[in-house]
Structure 1
């Protein structure tokens, strides 16, 4: 990473580490200014004090130490300043200013999320496994949230089929949640990618999983909902996906729910009943991905470093 870019990333980390920092507001301010260093100096001063204390310098030094430690630990750090920042996240309302990864980062142009309840029926597990297997065998990256239930079934089936899978998690990348998925998470790191918008050691929290759903819906080109009640993260992700302009695919068994029947009437929502229908629908969706991603990749990276 070039030295000037390192300084910008360190300044961004320093800003996000400030007590009470609101990440979305900081991201917006940095985008408007075009420089995290300028925003940091405005907030903490630019060393013009006569005293030995220099809050901005100290914050930058602390951030640089953290960045070095993360790199030594094998954690990928991808900020708004980096070409490695997932391109598709740049156009979502809840765009995180920084994401952390373990595993192998890839373009994942052809990526589809498969999500659903933590307490699935046997039928739901079977549908998730069938969907993930069909997608993986078609060269589609299977994205999910590493939660118990449908997420676990989707990740496991994708790996078993020899495909790529990405876990977008609601904790830091150094955490295992749920603990029962430790081995699965390690396998995903080995053969795919674990991605988080939270500090590497961040624990699970009340709001982290809804925030995770927003990022997952943006990372994927489309979201497949397998089994979900009205009050569920999967239904929330379907709503967010539509807000982000991402298609939603519903398993026809979901139509027993009022919310799913209502969603099925919306533009951009597809209902499928077989694996073949799913693959055909996803193929129709992903054909349009390269052009849309090329447009996103043409967006400015804040400052020309």
Structure 2
């Protein structure tokens, strides 16, 4: 069973995508957004400021009166009046290829994350930002799992990634690491959310894994480059994991653990929560048993998770297509078998389809064959994958039929 065939546009998805999505107002928006981040303090007034003015550059130019009307505290106003400066490390990081900054006002800001109680003002992303719109499930659990727990995390992540769902986790040792690696091994999509700046991999043992995920998926943080991992960052990191995903699967967790925090935050955001049961003698299974008693779905197989999330993935898939200005069905018909190629009425999609074959093809060759930009190609490939026309394995793409 795969998720992709369920992805059809819906009115709800169009609403989720945001019909008023607008481009950034000026090329200096990243610098202005970095200054807003440097001002510190409560995020809600700064989100209101961005909403009122349509972008960070316009918000800063609006002046102190507008800042106060948006609810900024006196300390925040003073910081902006004093020219709160962006950290040079953040500026330098953003200048490198594959590094992005998504602000609250940005039409690419992931829609699921907008719906949580305390969404971040901005996200730093290494990799492909469009993947934050991809239907995903969080897999979390103990940093010291049992051998059986690792096996379960590996099996669930491999199957979920193979179904078309992205696997999102926190890059911690244990279950998180196992889930990321299994998703990569399946040739699927994985997203890591971290509690430090993206130039400070944590834990250090996973620096190479973070680089792999950035190359094949996306690594995300709300903390600017230059920020070291601090204990207090991880509960807030967990809310982003829960907020980016359609549901959270807890594989193993003790009674007091970060995985349970993620599950609680998922439930508070109205997302699905799943738990894998374990032995009554296993201390890192007790958190899962507690979740089940509190109403989490007991799951034994990945297809149980997929069946629950497929209708929700349909809505998010529609939102993605709306954001990318893609047709609601690439083939223009309800059935893939009715036509020989997707997007026959769209020359760019048709050119991409002709450039693809049944043998896996890398991005560089597709760029050469199609003449499209990297951004265009990444977006179109993601939509075609969601529709089930292509599969992606280890950064290479091929037709499914």
Alignment match, 2:120: 96
Shift, 1:295, TM fit: 7.3
Shift, 1:32, TM fit: 6.7
Shift, 1:287, TM fit: 1.6
Q: How does 1:176-191 map to 2 (within 5 A)?
A: 176-191=201-216
Q: Which moved more, 1:278-287 or 1:194-203?
A: 278-287
Shift, 1:72, TM fit: 1.4
Q: How does 1:1-305 map to 2 (within 5 A)?
A: 4-6=25-27, 9-18=30-39, 21-30=40-49, 33-34=52-53, 36-37=59-60, 41-42=64-65, 56=80, 59=83, 62-63=85-86, 69-74=92-97, 75-107=99-131, 108-253=133-278, 260-266=288-294, 269-273=296-300, 277-291=301-315
Q: Normalised by the size of structure 2, how large is the TM-score?
A: 0.63
Shift, 1:118, TM fit: 0.7
Partner Cα distance (1:116, 1:57) in 2: 44
Partner Cα distance (2:269, 2:291) in 1: 15
- The SS at the match of 2:227 is coil
Q: Which moved more, 1:278-287 or 1:164-173?
A: 278-287
Partner Cα distance (1:225, 1:145) in 2: 12
Partner Cα distance (2:24, 2:156) in 1: 45
Partner Cα distance (1:155, 1:24) in 2: 30
Could you say if the C-alpha distance between residues 186 and 9 of structure 1 is closer, same or farther in structure 2, counting changes exceeding 3 Å?
A: closer
Deviations 1:19-63 (A, max 9, x none): xx2243444542674463367634889xxxxxxxx9757627x44
Deviations 1:165-210 (A, max 9, x none): 1001111111111111111111111111101111112101121111
Could you say if the C-alpha distance between residues 155 and 260 of structure 1 is closer, same or farther in structure 2, counting changes exceeding 3 Å?
A: closer
Q: Which moved more, 1:240-249 or 1:173-182?
A: 173-182
Could you say if the C-alpha distance between residues 254 and 204 of structure 1 is closer, same or farther in structure 2, counting changes exceeding 3 Å?
A: farther
Partner Cα distance (1:272, 1:2) in 2: 42
Partner Cα distance (1:254, 1:238) in 2: 20
Structure showing greater Rg: 2
8 Å Cα contact 2:145/2:174 also seen in 1: yes
Shift, 1:285, TM fit: 1.6
Shift, 1:85, TM fit: 1.3
Could you say if the C-alpha distance between residues 254 and 291 of structure 1 is closer, same or farther in structure 2, counting changes exceeding 3 Å?
A: farther
Partner Cα distance (1:130, 1:161) in 2: 10
8 Å Cα contact 1:87/1:297 also seen in 2: no
Partner Cα distance (2:286, 2:145) in 1: 18
Q: Normalised by the size of structure 1, how large is the TM-score?
A: 0.81
Partner Cα distance (1:31, 1:235) in 2: 33
| Number of aligned residue pairs | 284
Deviations 1:117-156 (A, max 9, x none): 1111111111110111111111111101000010010001
